Structure 1
Amino acid sequence: MIEQRLSELGITLPKAAAPVASYVPVVVSNGLAYVSGQLPFIGGNLVTGRLGDDISTERGMEAARACALMILAQLKAADIALDNVERIVKLGAFVNCTNDFADQPKVANGASDVMFEIFGDAGRHARAAVGVPALPLHAVVEVDAVIALKE
């Protein structure tokens, strides 16, 4: 059903990215999938830069959306069927930005909105949107997730 929804939306999930350090992309415990922070790849290229400096809010939103799609790709790579997602519980969005940039919530909406598009009400979630001075590999945004799975 979710695969059909992705097709209807014209969404193709990316290939799951390999970890860039000593961690695993997904851990499942007590019915929850904890997905490590995912970086934004668009067209196979990592989106780098800083909001408030050389990246627009709109590009930041696109990057956050790419992170959300990578979260779903990581679930699939961990052999978790997307139809087994009961609810997106929480997203954490980390935005590489200047000290005076204050639109982190708008940037994070790129990830939040695509989860709602794909999962409907089950895609509505709690969230944090935090500005940070730097991210791994100079990524513009990083998003992690907690996802409830059906039993």
Structure 2
Amino acid sequence: MGKFESKLAEMGVTLPDAPAPAANYVPYVQVGDMLYVSGQLPKDGDTLMIGKLGDDMDVATGAKAARVCAINLLAQVKAACGGDLDRLQRVVKLGGFVNSTDDFKDQPAVINGASDFIGEALGDVGKHARAAVSSPALPFGVAVEIEGVFQIK
């Protein structure tokens, strides 16, 4: 077990198998040492975390959904790296989409669920640029979707 997966294990996290795409696209594309990972949904086991922030979901639950998205992003990175997550050199950028009402203003707090997890799990390698934006709806009614750009070796 590598250093990143050891840290995840200390945190009580085991990466799932990389989720299969839900439509006609690939889960990631590698160009040189850059890895572009398609948007990941908050699917924990067989359960999708469905809800709309500002309506039927609070910020803390939304942040938990974002954390699940981040776990699924790392699962995709691990798959792209042939099972060796330690090939990850840098989390470059996360793009977070929050299913929220027109008057909801705490998208950054929701996406912090992913950023905080990535920072705790990966340390300096996990320091990233980020976007946190509102969306009137997301696939399957999920609360959050997050995509990522990573540098790998």
Q: Same fold (TM over 0.5)?
A: yes
CA-to-aligned-CA distance 1:102-145 (integer Å, 9 cap, x gap): 00000000000111111101101000000000011111000000
Runs of 4+ in 1 over 4 A off after TM superposition: none
Deviation at 1:14? 2.3
Deviation at 1:77? 2.6
Q: Number of residues paired by the alignment?
A: 150
Question: What 5-or-longer segments of structure 2 have no aligned partner?
Answer: none
SS at match of 1:48: coil
CA-to-aligned-CA distance 1:4-44 (integer Å, 9 cap, x gap): 11111111112322111111001110201100000001343
- Please name the residue that 2:7 is paired with: 5
1:33 corresponds to which of 32, 35, 50: 35
| 6-15 or 81-90, larger mean C-alpha shift | 6-15
- Please name the residue that 2:75 is paired with: 73
1:94 aligns with 2:97: yes
What is the TM-score with the length of structure 2 in the denominator? 0.94
What is the TM-score with the length of structure 1 in the denominator? 0.95
- Please name the residue that 1:22 is paired with: 24
Deviation at 1:80? 5.0
Q: Is the 8 A contact 2:54 2:103 kept in 1?
A: yes
Question: What 5-or-longer segments of structure 1 have no aligned partner?
Answer: none
| 38-47 or 62-71, larger mean C-alpha shift | 38-47
CA RMSD of aligned residues (A): 1.1
What percentage of residue pairs aligned between the two structures are identical?
A: 54
